[in-house]
A and B are shown apart, each in its own frame.
Chain A
Amino acid sequence: GESVGLHLPTLSVQEGDNSIINCAYSNSASDYFIWYKQESGKGPQFIIDIRSNMDKRQGQRVTVLLNKTVKHLSLQIAATQPGDSAVYFCAESPGGGADGLTFGKGTHLIIQP
């Protein structure tokens, strides 16, 4: 069936560098995408979202890029900090976000000192 997936299970970056986490989705009907951060033992924390009528959206230190042609989503984190260490999930919805989300498996971001 159609699902959301991630290219890399673990990403290690130096503190202060920029991080790029990638996500591939296969449901062409998806029109809403979200990135979540999950720390050990906690629920997912909303980071940023984007709708299919946009290609790019920026937040505080984060940018989400959407390429609908190749069904690819990425999360860029600028100047990574130790507190950015977590598992990052992308999620998608064909219902504009009103219905249940489909999550990928996650990328574990490790920040090296």
Chain B
Amino acid sequence: DTGVSQDPRHKITKRGQNVTFRCDPISEHNRLYWYRQTLGQGPEFLTYFQNEAQLEKSRLLSDRFSAERPKGSFSTLEIQRTEQGDSAMYLCASSSDRFYEQYFGPGTRLTVT
């Protein structure tokens, strides 16, 4: 499978715990995006990387959220001190500099209890 992959697919955590999600983009894509989607809504942009550089962060990305892409390949999204409002689907997408179509992974569904 050469598409975008995300791990884990589902995560249940208790409020106050930290969680980390991983995204592996399509291999030749140098741009990587994180979005959050709640039930019945469209995805909301969080942040994106070009190679290892984080170029843009949404105001939705609070101080409890941090994203990294240290080697310009896979990326991680960490949420510290999770809150019930963090429950959502976290989507990753990737694209190339030549063709800007963003291709999405299957998402990680986070449930904070």
Count of interface residues, chain B, beta-carbon cutoff 8 Å: 28
**Given known A-B contacts A100-B33, A100-B56, A105 and B106 have beta carbons under 8 A apart:** no
Q: Do B107 and A43 touch (CB < 8 A)?
A: yes
Most chain A beta-carbon contacts within 10 A, residue among B42, B45, B93, B95: B42
Q: Do B44 and A98 touch (CB < 8 A)?
A: no
Taking CB atoms, residues of chain B closer than 8 Å to A101 are 33, 35, 43, 45, 102
| A36, closest chain B residue (CB) | B104
What's the nearest-Cβ distance from chain A to residue B61, in Å?
A: 11
Q: Do A100 and B48 touch (CB < 8 A)?
A: yes
What is the bound-complex CA distance between A15 and B46, given in angstroms? 37
Q: Does A64 contact B (CB under 8 A)?
A: no
Give chain A's interface residue range (CB within 8 Å of chain B).
20 to 34
| B44, closest chain A residue (CB) | A103
| B91, closest chain A residue (CB) | A43
**Given known A-B contacts A44-B91, A46-B102, A96-B100, A102 and B45 have beta carbons under 8 A apart:** yes
| A48, closest chain B residue (CB) | B101
What's the nearest-Cβ distance from chain A to residue B28, in Å?
A: 16
What's the nearest-Cβ distance from chain A to residue B3, in Å?
A: 9
What's the nearest-Cβ distance from chain A to residue B105, in Å?
A: 5
What's the nearest-Cβ distance from chain B to residue A84, in Å?
A: 18
